[in-house]
Structure 1
């Protein structure tokens, strides 16, 4: 009898641990679901901006050339990525973490209003301000706090979770070109932007509501921001590599439709298909490269395959004769989309490397903040490409 009494507390503690673990898994899956839903309002236009270039000119929103209008898309992506380190760092701290949901909701409202205002534009600078700056800041305010929730709920399979979310991002990039093309053809660019503003508002609020706000008990952020990782050269290697890679990643998403239309004389619909083909393979590669990056010995291989495969596709498929053979442009879209689309999924492995270095040096580290800084390095790449891509595409 005494033995039974002694075992009872242990059994109760075991049941509590199981219930707690079950609840943690449930919260993690809901965080993943919510972040996956939010890929639509965050990246819907950012990943498919090339669809809008000729429509803006056709419908009188701007009077500039299609090559010049590409600066809207590069500015949109550049501002988003460059502002992420600030928000990730601020919201990852205990003092500001309680404002994450408020920041995300504010971001949805700003983005929705920005796209609504952009539907009344008549000059290029109007769209640069509303879409390239305001909508970008709103999207960052939505992306940063919700991604931090995902980072907290997933510890062991962090890269795989990031990969699954990025796979949803590529689903958005696959479906939106077809949706936007249909809307632009039937209601024009002004009403397309107004419809998108409403879709963004609804899906954004719903996605935020799905994500549990209580942080995972598996990880607590230090009271102060730990900057000790700045002493490690590994961080700079990853940031420089990311900036270099990203300087070319955004160009196909912005200019593929216009290139197919103006150089190969394809239809508007065929141009839209190039964006779909570019984003569709990333649905598989994001999960695959993320899964590989969660395994220490496979993480460097995943990064190499992504970078090498992208370079080969750009050199031999785009550079060979894509201006004369439509099939090569299609092959480039599929091949480059697969390898380049999975590159961001390898960041989870990078973060794990930096985390291991911090543990070995007995240093504190914020993985969520590191992820934000890697996004910032991508923003540097986008900013560098934005200044030269427009003029070069007009030559």
Structure 2
């Protein structure tokens, strides 16, 4: 959530071996690795090893702390990718997966989406406060000491929190009986593929602003490092409210909105914010529009994960109608894995698109800067993240709409 601070520092103070532009995908790689590992971890801890969840989370804390500590001794881009981008992510996934499984089991009957939303809002609390903390540590002591201090913060707070998380009683005795096989019947139905496609597109664009907002503010708008850090905080802050709001909206029965509609609202709103606010940010004096973009995009993108509770409820209803078994915990892990594909893909695409540069001849707006291709990529992937709304239409109309959107984007000029 706060990697953009390190990204800005690496760009300004590059002393390591390797291509400094490669630092652009460290943050998205970390997110991608963490989410890609979740389907396997959720499958591991959902039944037979449920009683090992707390021990696994503590092991994850050790791995994450060791990775951040070793990262402070990095001498090349390869070291940073390995420690900050891969092993720390695996440790964080070992913390997140067993805790999230327990949460879903305690709220299996009602208000599960809201519970997910409240917990997910906590990551935005961290994403709002930690950029300033990390910026102060880096400016005062350098990035190596900052990473060592972060190691202590992660270790201390994680151990205390993990010891407070209870595993549901129904799972504590699961290892003493013969474990049932995980049901995979949901893979035969198209709903999981519609939602997975939407999540891949949405997450491909979501990680881009987190990584590049700070450097965009500095390189294009010529703002100070403090202003770049502020942009990152403004990006994360609205998600504190949005996660709970969209979780509540997914659970609220008095508003007749389907899971498709609720999950389509965030990515479509993000697409509008990207095209109108970030893309039309003027090179001179464009901080106002960039602030509006950070807040708007951060609000809707930050609340997207909370809509997954509604997706799970719909998939559970479909399974009940077909008299099929379904494991919500495993399904939630699979959705996280799909998101990892989008994160990783978006990170690698961002590095290449930054080299591609502008998309128009005009240098007045954001599209005409070196970040133009990245802006367009973020907007298009967010737009496609609303793909689930096409579920209500026939496929032919959906294909025609996508073709028309592609034609309009292709004709954009300023």
Alignment correspondent of 1:244: 201
Alignment correspondent of 1:313: 273
Q: What SS does the corresponding residue of 2:346 show, helix, strand or coil?
A: helix
Alignment correspondent of 1:194: 148
Check whether the contact 1:279–1:341 (CA below 8 A) recurs between aligned residues.
Answer: yes
Aligned residues: 347
Distance in 1, matches of 2:239 and 2:39, equals 24
Q: What SS does the corresponding residue of 1:251 show, helix, strand or coil?
A: helix
Q: What SS does the corresponding residue of 1:172 show, helix, strand or coil?
A: helix
**Deviations 1:41-68, CA, capped at 9 Å, x for gaps:** xxxxxx1111002323555563455532
1:257–1:63 CA distance, 2 compared to 1 (3 A): farther
Structure 1: where are the runs of 5+ without partners?
1-46
- More deviation, 60-69/330-339: 60-69
**Deviations 1:238-270, CA, capped at 9 Å, x for gaps:** 001100111100000011101111111111110
Alignment correspondent of 1:101: 54
Structure 2: where are the runs of 5+ without partners?
358-414
Alignment correspondent of 1:33: none
Distance in 1, matches of 2:147 and 2:237, equals 24
- More deviation, 297-306/176-185: 297-306
Residue 84 (structure 1) shift: 0.8
Residue 178 (structure 1) shift: 0.9
Aligned equivalent of 2:300, options 339, 343, 347:
339
Check whether the contact 1:243–1:380 (CA below 8 A) recurs between aligned residues.
Answer: yes
Check whether the contact 2:54–2:163 (CA below 8 A) recurs between aligned residues.
Answer: no
Q: What SS does the corresponding residue of 1:52 show, helix, strand or coil?
A: helix
Residue 301 (structure 1) shift: 3.4
Superposition map of 1:276-315 within 5 A = 276-295=233-252, 297-298=256-257, 299-315=259-275
Aligned equivalent of 1:159, options 85, 109, 113:
113
Once superposed, what is the RMSD of the aligned Cα atoms?
1.8
Alignment correspondent of 1:372: 333
Alignment correspondent of 1:76: 30
**Deviations 1:251-299, CA, capped at 9 Å, x for gaps:** 0001110111111111111000111000111111111110011136334
Check whether the contact 1:60–1:122 (CA below 8 A) recurs between aligned residues.
Answer: no
Residue 387 (structure 1) shift: 1.6
**Deviations 1:107-132, CA, capped at 9 Å, x for gaps:** 00000000000000010000100111
Query: Under a length normalisation based on structure 1, what TM-score does the superposition of the two structures give?
Result: 0.84
Alignment correspondent of 1:360: 321
Aligned equivalent of 2:69, options 74, 99, 116:
116
Aligned equivalent of 1:274, options 231, 235, 259:
231
- More deviation, 298-307/337-346: 298-307
Runs of 4+ in 1 over 6 A off after TM superposition: none
Check whether the contact 1:67–1:391 (CA below 8 A) recurs between aligned residues.
Answer: no
1:167–1:342 CA distance, 2 compared to 1 (3 A): same
Check whether the contact 2:62–2:155 (CA below 8 A) recurs between aligned residues.
Answer: yes
Residue 308 (structure 1) shift: 1.6
The answer to whether residue 167 in structure 2 is matched with residue 213 in structure 1 is: yes
Alignment correspondent of 2:192: 235
Q: What SS does the corresponding residue of 1:210 show, helix, strand or coil?
A: coil
The answer to whether residue 309 in structure 2 is matched with residue 348 in structure 1 is: yes
The answer to whether residue 354 in structure 2 is matched with residue 393 in structure 1 is: yes
Alignment correspondent of 1:29: none
Check whether the contact 1:322–1:329 (CA below 8 A) recurs between aligned residues.
Answer: no
1:149–1:322 CA distance, 2 compared to 1 (3 A): farther
Alignment correspondent of 1:131: 84
Query: Under a length normalisation based on structure 2, what TM-score does the superposition of the two structures give?
Result: 0.80
